[in-house]
Structure 1
Amino acid sequence: MSNEHDKDFDVSGVEPAGPIYGTRPDGFRSGFASFVGRPNAGKSTLTNALVGSKIVITSSKPQTTRTVVRGIVHRPDGQLILVDTPGLHRPRTLLGERLNDLVKTTWAEVDVVAVCFPANEKIGPGDRFIVTELGKIRRTVKIAVATKTDLVSPEQLGQHLLDIAALGAETDTTWAEIVPVSAVSGDQVSLLSDLLLGMLPEGPPLYPDGDLTDAPEEVLVADLIREAALEGVRDELPHSIAVVVEEMNLREGRDADKPLLDIYANLYVERDSQKGIMIGHKGARLRSVGTAARKQIEALLGTPVYLDLHVKIAKDWQRDPRQLRKLGF
């Protein structure tokens, strides 16, 4: 990709970044970096840690991220735009194929790709598959990030870093850096930010000060609802949940100092049996999902929320092109 940021930039079909913002101090850098890796490798948690705010949903369940969300890191010496992608995997559904296409398109368009290798898991065929695929994109700078270092001993971490270096040699991949970090403890997160920024081209800010993401609020809200739903039915419905925000408006007729945001959202599953699981006995499961999601949404948007959730069936939506379009994929 060109290192000139004098035009709008678009990653994987999301909205263009828009106009250039502000003047450029000497040596100011700006650009795009993408975290990639196997599902559940810590990419979303690391994005949130670098941005300093929760803008990407996380879950102990793999395959949580389904959209590309930009997190924006503002610094005096530059602006780092983080592109969080779904985990690359061998797809079993049409949805899986589309998510993989999204990842590969993103790789070719960013300045730096950071491959995440969780320190508490041995490097395996999935990692080799990702690095081999990444090797087909020659011009993008590549770094390796050992994530979740708080979960292992120094000896285990040392071996993990050697394994990452060996994987690079085996796949003819040149790592510009190999960096161990813990997003949970904050260890070396600032160093990673410094390294990523130093690999970006010089250029003006691409987003206004204060912006933490360019994802529409409806997308962030839908993701927070789906995160709450995944935590509730972790084993029964790992990948079958989709959320669409149908309506989101401030309630009319309220005092300016007492706003209330009305959100109406549909939670889609694939079968009747899944609908029953999602609603729970006498609606208990759905109520708990709504309560957890509402707290997260209020924390994100800083506004009291009335959340109205309904469960609907979109039969086999992960394999149906028409249903995927309807649900935003």
Structure 2
Amino acid sequence: MSDEFKAGFACFVGRPNVGKSTLMNALVGTKVAITSSKPQTTRRAIRGIVHRPDAQLVIVDTPGLHRPRTLLGERLDSLVLSTLSEVDAIGFCIPADEPIGKGDRFIADKLAAVKRTPILAIVTKCDLVGRERVAEQLLAVSNLGTFAEIIPVSAKSGDQLGILSDLLIDRLPESPPLYEGGELTDEPEQVLVAELIREATLEGVRDELPHSIAVVVEEMGLREGRDDLLDIYAFMYVERPSQKAIVIGRKGERLREVGTRARHQIEALLGTRVYLDLRIKVAKDWQRDPKQLRRLGFYD
């Protein structure tokens, strides 16, 4: 490894729910991307920054790549594919506990068209299976394409994370740090807060709902005359009145639970007390409406 300082970008790609966000959080050392067992949890290219004495690795966590069924899905796929051409290394994430499927082969075909960027195949969630199964998955992954490296890891146990960092950093150019001040992400606080609210909402809702939920923080700031209380006013958008009723729950019970869970996460993130005003609106079929997608922050 060179004695010169290195800095650059690596992105994680893979189908939904393969552990990309959890892996990035583990490498960064703190939570910068929300995680959930629900599909399509990640909707933005979230950047997490790994600081080392010899390097600065900026990890771009992308939405799960899939065959889109809505305009939102098309835009998320477009975001992923454009990111591939802008990074110094690509980590293709495939879980150890699931067989190789059509989604993995679909992504492998897309990656085969990427000629100049080194691609590392990362077998995630290795803590969930035994060594024999990991070995079988490594062999199966090797048949998916040609990779610069194939490495098994566990974000939960931390196994091989240091080696993965080394392998990614080896592929970065010599460069001064890209971010000063030791920050762990460049995401605006309002975006992080909106994501934490959406994460809290995803817990316990029906499988079809996660795709239909979007959150926008309309206003956020310290309460007048106080420096120890942050007021946050946010709207959650769903596509149908029936979905609104599900999220609110019986006598508002579920919405209160979501608010409490989100508030605790936001307070932990920002290090201050929070007053959260969370309301729900219906934006009919917003996933398929270009105007509403733009208003909710999903641009062309």
Give the TM-score normalised by structure 1: 0.89
CA displacement, residues 44-65 of structure 1 (integer Å, 9 cap, x when unaligned): 0000000001000000111100
- 1:116-166 CA-to-partner distances (Å, cap 9, x unmatched) read 000000011110110111111211110000000000111000000000111
What is the rounded CA distance, in whole Å, between the counterparts of 2:140 and 2:267 in structure 1?
42
Is the 1:74–1:209 contact (alpha carbons within 8 Å) kept by the matching residues of 2?
A: no
Confirm or deny: 8 A CA contact 1:69 1:83 kept in the other structure. Answer: yes
Choose the corresponding residue for 1:163, options 127, 140, 143.
140
Q: Give how far 1:238 is off.
A: 2.6
Say whether 1:206 aligns with 2:178: yes
Aligned length: 297
Match status 1:245 vs 2:245: no
- In the TM superposition, what whole-angstrom CA distance separates every residue of 1:191-229 from its partner, at most 9, and x where no partner exists? 111111111111100001321001100111100100110
1: CA distance, partners of 2:67 / 2:230: 40
Q: Which residue of 1 aligns with 2:30?
A: 53
One-letter code aligned to 1:206: L
The 5 Å alignment of 1:146-225 reads 146-168=123-145, 174-225=146-197
Gap runs ≥5 in structure 1: 1-24, 169-173
Would you say 1:312 and 2:291 are equivalent positions?
no
Q: How far off its partner does 1:234 sit?
A: 3.9
Among candidates 114, 134, 137, match of residue 114 of structure 2: 137
* CA distance in structure 2 between the aligned counterparts of 1:68 and 1:261, rounded to whole angstroms: 27
Amino acid in structure 2 at the alignment position of 1:213: T
Q: Which residue is equivalent to 2:52?
A: 75
Residue matched to 1:289: 258
Q: Does 1:273 align with 2:242?
A: yes
Contact persistence 1:40–1:60 (CA under 8 A): yes
- Provide Cα deviations, 1:225-270, integer angstroms capped at 9, x if missing partner: 001101131425131000000000011212x4xx111100000000
Tell whether the 8 Å contact from 1:35 to 1:85 is kept in structure 2 after alignment. yes
Show the counterpart of 1:31.
8
- For 1:239 and 1:91, the matched residues in 2 are separated by 12
Q: Is the 8 A contact 1:35 1:116 kept in 2?
A: yes
- How many angstroms apart in 2 are the aligned matches of 1:192 and 1:299? 28
Over the matched positions of the two proteins, sequence identity in percent amounts to 70
Deviations 1:3-43 (A, max 9, x none): xxxxxxxxxxxxxxxxxxxxxx9510000000000100100
3-state SS of 2:50 partner = strand
For residue 98 of structure 1, what is the aligned residue in structure 2?
75
SS in 1 for 2:115: coil
Amino acid across the alignment from 2:171: M
Aligned residue type for 1:275: K
Alignment-derived partner of residue 91 in structure 2: 114
Shift of 1:294: 0.7
- Distance between the aligned counterparts of 1:137 and 1:91, measured in 2? 21
Q: 2:26 and 2:58 mapped to 1: Cα distance?
A: 13
TM-score normalised by the chain length of structure 2: 0.97
Alignment partners' CA distance in 1, 2:59 and 2:135: 27
Structure 1 segment 10-25 matched on structure 2, within 5 A = none
d(CA) in 2 for partners of 1:127, 1:208: 36
CA separation in 1, counterparts of 2:270 and 2:9?
25
Match of 1:299 among 262, 268, 279: 268
Name the CA distance, whole Å, in 1 between partners of 2:87 and 2:125: 24
Q: Secondary structure at the match of 2:235?
A: strand
Residue pair 1:232, 1:289 contacting (<8 A) in 2 also? no
Cα separation, 1, equivalents of 2:147 and 2:224? 55
2:68 corresponds to 1:88:
no
